[in-house]
Structure 1
Amino acid sequence: MLIEIRGVGFVNKGAELMLHAILEKIKSRFPKARFVMAPSLNVSPYEKRAELSLYQKVTYEKLGLDLGDFFVSLVPKKRRKMYGLVRQKEVDIVLDAAGFAHGDQWGVKNTKKLFKFSQKLKRNNAKLILLPQAFGPFEKREIKETMKELLRNCDLVFAREEVSFNYLTSFTSQKNIFNMPDFTNLVKAKEVEDFDFEKNDFCIIPNYKMVSKSWINSSDNNYIKLISESIKYLREKGKNPFILVHEGKKDFVLAEEIANKVGGINIFKEEDPLKVKGIIKQSHGVIGSRFHSLVSSLSQATPALGTSWSHKYQMLFKDYDFEEGILTLDSSVDDIRRKVDILIDENSKEKLVLKLENKSKYLKELSNQMWEKVFKEIETKA
C-alpha cells in the first residue's frame, strides 16, 4: 500500500509534528505501508524526506500538464522502485493534513487545486482523506461551490472544531464529515536534557501572521506591545521568559524585534519537532501564537495563553474549557497581567493544570476514534 501525505513540511514545526503523528499511527496498524511526499525545495527538501524513508512523488506541472509524471512514466517500474520514485497513479491513499487552507481568507486557489487533484484520484480509484483541519468561512460563492464539489470527492473529512464543522455542514449533508480535534495531541514529546530550564522557564512563541494578516483590525505594533508587556510582567514576577521560534525566518525576525523591544531575551530555534514539544512540556508556562504550539501546551497540561488571527484559536481554548486564555490585540495592561497571573499563581495554576489534564484525556480519546475511522477506510483499499 502506498500512502501520500500532503499539507505537511519541515519548516513549520506544527506541520512537521503532524507528519510524525501520521507516520507513527499508520505504521502501528499497517507496518508494511510505504509513504510518499511531493518534493519542495524549501518546505520539504530531499534530505529531510530521506531521513524518514519517504518515497519521492515525481511531479512538475506546466500549462496544465504534469510533465514530471510523464517523463518518469518512461522509466520501467523496477527502476523507479530502485530509486524510490513514484507516479501519482500508483498512490492508493492520500492523507491531506493542511492545517488551514480552505476559506475566504485564502481565496479559491487552494480549493480549486485540491479539487482538480481529487478528480485525478477518483480516476485512479484512490482515496482522499482530509485529516483534522480548520475550514471556512465560505461566504464567497465561488469558493463555497468549489468546496462543495471537493467534498463529494473525499472519502473522509475531519473538521477539527465546531465552527469549521458547522461551516462545512451548512452547505452539504454528507455523512462522512466529522468533528475531531487536532491529532498531534497523541504525539509524545522527547525529554530535553540539554536546555537550561532555570534560566529559561517561561516560553514565548511568536507568529508573524499576527502582524501580517490584513483582516486583523489593529496596527502592526499592537502585537509586539502585547508580547512585550507580557514579558515585562513575567520578569517582574520572577520568571525567566525566553522565545522559541516555531517556524522559519519571518518568525525569527519577529522574535528579534520583540527582543529589541524588551532589552534582550534568549531566542532558541530547535529543529526536532518532538524536542520542541518537549521544551514546551518542561516550561512553567507558554504564551503562544502558533496553533500547534498551543496544542502541544494544552494537551500536555502546560498552562498557556494564546493570541488569535483565526477562529481556530478560540475553538482550541474552548475545547480545553479555558476560553479566558485568549489574549486579544486590544487587551489592556491590567487584562494582560490578570491573565498571566492565572498561569503563575500557584492556586489558579494548580486548578488549571487539573482541568487541562482531564480535557486532554477526553480529546486524546477522540483522536484515537478519528484514527480508527481512518484505519477502517484504509482497510477497504488494502
Structure 2
Amino acid sequence: MLVEIKGIGIPNKGAELMLVAVVEEFTRRYGEVDFVVDPNTDFLGRSRYQLYQKGWMNIKGLQIGYLIDFMPNKLLSRFGIKKDKDIDIVVDASGFCYSDSFGPKNAYEQVSRYISRWKRQGKKVAFLPQAYGPFENPKLASMMRSTLEKADIFFARDEQSKKYLEKIGLKDVAQSPDFTCLVEGVIPNDFSTEDAGDVCVILNNRMIEKLSVADGKSYIENMTKMISLLRSYNMRPFFLLHDGLDDKPLTESINNNLEEPLKTYYYEDPKEIKGVISTASIVISSRFHGLVSALTQGIPVIATGWSHKYQMLLDDYNVGDFLADHMDYSDLVKKIELLKDEDKYTLIKNGIVQEKKRQIQKTKDMWNLVFKHIQ
C-alpha cells in the first residue's frame, strides 16, 4: 500500500506531529505501509520518517511530474521516488490551509487541480480533521465545494469550520477534533523539570506576521511583561520552540529585554516536544499544536492566536475564557491569577482531563470512519 500524505511541513512541529499520527495509525491498521510526500520537504526531514519523495514538480503552471510515469520503477527506487499513478490513498492532513487567508491558488495546486484525476485512477481521498474557511472568495468557495464533494470522506475540526463548509453548500459535514491526541509524548533524556521550570511558554512568529506592526509590538511587550509577572508569583517559566527555529529570533528578542533570560529548549522530534509539554503545570502558547498537546495531556493553558481555530479548540475543552487578548495585558494578568489559585486550578485541570477522554474517543471514532471509507 502506498499512501500520500499532503499538507505536512517539516520542521513545523505541529504539522510533523500530524505526520506522526497518520503514520502510526496506518501502520497500526495495515502493518507494512509505504508513505510518500511532495518534494517540498527536504531530504533530512523525509529521511527521519522513511518517507518516499513523489515525482512531482510544478514549473510555471505546468506539472512535469506526469513525465515521471514513463520512467522505470527500478531507476526511480534508487532515488526514493514514487510515481503519482502508483499511489493508492491520498490523505490530506493540512491542519489549516483552505481559507481566504491562503487563497484559491493554494487550494488549486494542493488538491483541486488533481482530485478528479485521482478519482479516475481509483485512488481513495480523505481529508482529515482540519480548520476551514472563511470562503468569501467565490472562486475558492466553488473550488472547495467541488473538491470535498469528490473526496471519499472529509472532516471539519471545529464548529466554526463546519459552518463555513455548510455555507458553501456542503451537506452532512462530519466533525472531529485534532487527531494528534493519540500520539504519545516522550520526555527527552536530557530534559529536567528542575532545570527547566513549570510554566511552558510557546511563542509564534506568525503573531508578528499576521498582525499589524502595532499589534505585533504589543504582543512582544505583553509577553515580556507576562514573564516578569510569572516570576513575581514564584513561577518558573521557560521557552519551548515549537516551529523549528522560526520562532527563535522572537524568543531572543524577548530574552534581550529580560534581566534574567529564560532557558530555551528545542527538539527535532515532535514527540519529544509533546513530552516536554507534559511536564509543565501551565502552558502559555501561541502555537495551535502547543495548545493541543497540553490539553490532550490534561494541562491548563492560556492561549493567544490569530485565527478562529484557537477559540474553537479551547471551547472543545470548556476553557474558552482562556483565549487571551494579546493587546490587553490586564487580560493576561487575570488569566494567570485564575490559574495561580490552587482550588480554581484543580477545578479547571479536572475538567480538562474529563474532556480529554471524550476527545480521544472522538478521534478513535474518526479513524474508524476513515478506514471504513478508504478500504
- Normalising by structure 1, we get a TM-score of 0.93
For residue 46 of structure 2, what is the aligned residue in structure 1? 49
The separation in 2 between residues aligned to 1:69 and 1:147, in whole angstroms, is 24
For residue 26 of structure 2, what is the aligned residue in structure 1? 26
Indicate yes or no: 2:58 matched with 1:61: yes
Structure 2, unpaired ranges of 5+: none
For residue 9 of structure 1, what is the aligned residue in structure 2? 9
Q: Is the 8 A contact 2:202 2:240 kept in 1?
A: yes
Which of 333, 357, 363 pairs up with 2:359? 363
Structure 1, unpaired ranges of 5+: none
SS of residue in 2 equivalent to 1:111: helix
SS of residue in 2 equivalent to 1:104: coil
Label 1:5 to 1:296 Cα distance change in 2 as closer, same or farther (>3 A). same
Q: Is the 8 A contact 1:218 1:329 kept in 2?
A: no
For residues 201-216 of structure 1, what are the structure 2 equivalents within 5 Å? 201=197, 202-214=199-211
Indicate yes or no: 2:249 matched with 1:253: yes
**Structure 1 range deviating more: 309-318 or 50-59:** 50-59
For residue 317 of structure 1, what is the aligned residue in structure 2? 314
Amino acid across the alignment from 1:319:
D
The separation in 1 between residues aligned to 2:248 and 2:116, in whole angstroms, is 39
Label 1:270 to 1:51 Cα distance change in 2 as closer, same or farther (>3 A). closer
The separation in 2 between residues aligned to 1:314 and 1:367, in whole angstroms, is 19
The alpha carbon displacement at 1:338 in A equals: 2.0
The alpha carbon displacement at 1:83 in A equals: 4.5
Indicate yes or no: 2:320 matched with 1:329: no
For residue 149 of structure 2, what is the aligned residue in structure 1? 152
For residues 253-332 of structure 1, what are the structure 2 equivalents within 5 Å? 253-263=249-259, 264-332=261-329
SS of residue in 2 equivalent to 1:343: helix
The alpha carbon displacement at 1:181 in A equals: 0.2
Which of 146, 152, 177 pairs up with 1:181? 177
Q: Is the 8 A contact 1:199 1:240 kept in 2?
A: no
The separation in 1 between residues aligned to 2:48 and 2:102, in whole angstroms, is 32
Which of 348, 353, 356 pairs up with 1:352? 348
Q: Is the 8 A contact 2:135 2:168 kept in 1?
A: no
Label 1:2 to 1:357 Cα distance change in 2 as closer, same or farther (>3 A). same
4+ residue segments displaced more than 3 Å: 78-84
The alpha carbon displacement at 1:189 in A equals: 0.5
- Normalising by structure 2, we get a TM-score of 0.94
For residue 38 of structure 1, what is the aligned residue in structure 2? 38
Q: Is the 8 A contact 2:3 2:34 kept in 1?
A: yes
Label 1:218 to 1:157 Cα distance change in 2 as closer, same or farther (>3 A). farther
Q: Is the 8 A contact 1:281 1:302 kept in 2?
A: yes
Amino acid across the alignment from 1:146:
M
SS of residue in 2 equivalent to 1:105: coil
For residues 190-201 of structure 1, what are the structure 2 equivalents within 5 Å? 190-201=186-197
For residues 96-135 of structure 1, what are the structure 2 equivalents within 5 Å? 96-113=92-109, 114-135=111-132
SS of residue in 1 equivalent to 2:151: coil
Q: CA RMSD in A?
A: 1.7
Amino acid across the alignment from 2:36:
V
The alpha carbon displacement at 1:183 in A equals: 0.2
Q: Is the 8 A contact 1:57 1:85 kept in 2?
A: yes
SS of residue in 2 equivalent to 1:369: helix
For residue 235 of structure 2, what is the aligned residue in structure 1? 239
The alpha carbon displacement at 1:75 in A equals: 2.7
Amino acid across the alignment from 2:287:
R
Sequence identity, in percent? 36
Label 1:193 to 1:33 Cα distance change in 2 as closer, same or farther (>3 A). closer
Over residues 247-298 of structure 1, what are the superposed CA-to-partner deviations in whole Å (9 max), with x where a residue is unaligned? 1343111111111222322122111100100100001211000000000001
The alpha carbon displacement at 1:38 in A equals: 1.7
Which of 90, 106, 118 pairs up with 1:94? 90
Label 1:104 to 1:64 Cα distance change in 2 as closer, same or farther (>3 A). closer
Aligned pairs, how many? 372
The alpha carbon displacement at 1:218 in A equals: 5.1
Amino acid across the alignment from 1:62:
I
SS of residue in 1 equivalent to 2:247: helix
The separation in 1 between residues aligned to 2:45 and 2:170, in whole angstroms, is 40
The separation in 1 between residues aligned to 2:107 and 2:204, in whole angstroms, is 24
The separation in 1 between residues aligned to 2:265 and 2:80, in whole angstroms, is 35
Q: Is the 8 A contact 2:125 2:374 kept in 1?
A: no
SS of residue in 1 equivalent to 2:360: helix
SS of residue in 1 equivalent to 2:196: coil
The separation in 2 between residues aligned to 1:212 and 1:82, in whole angstroms, is 40
The alpha carbon displacement at 1:353 in A equals: 1.2
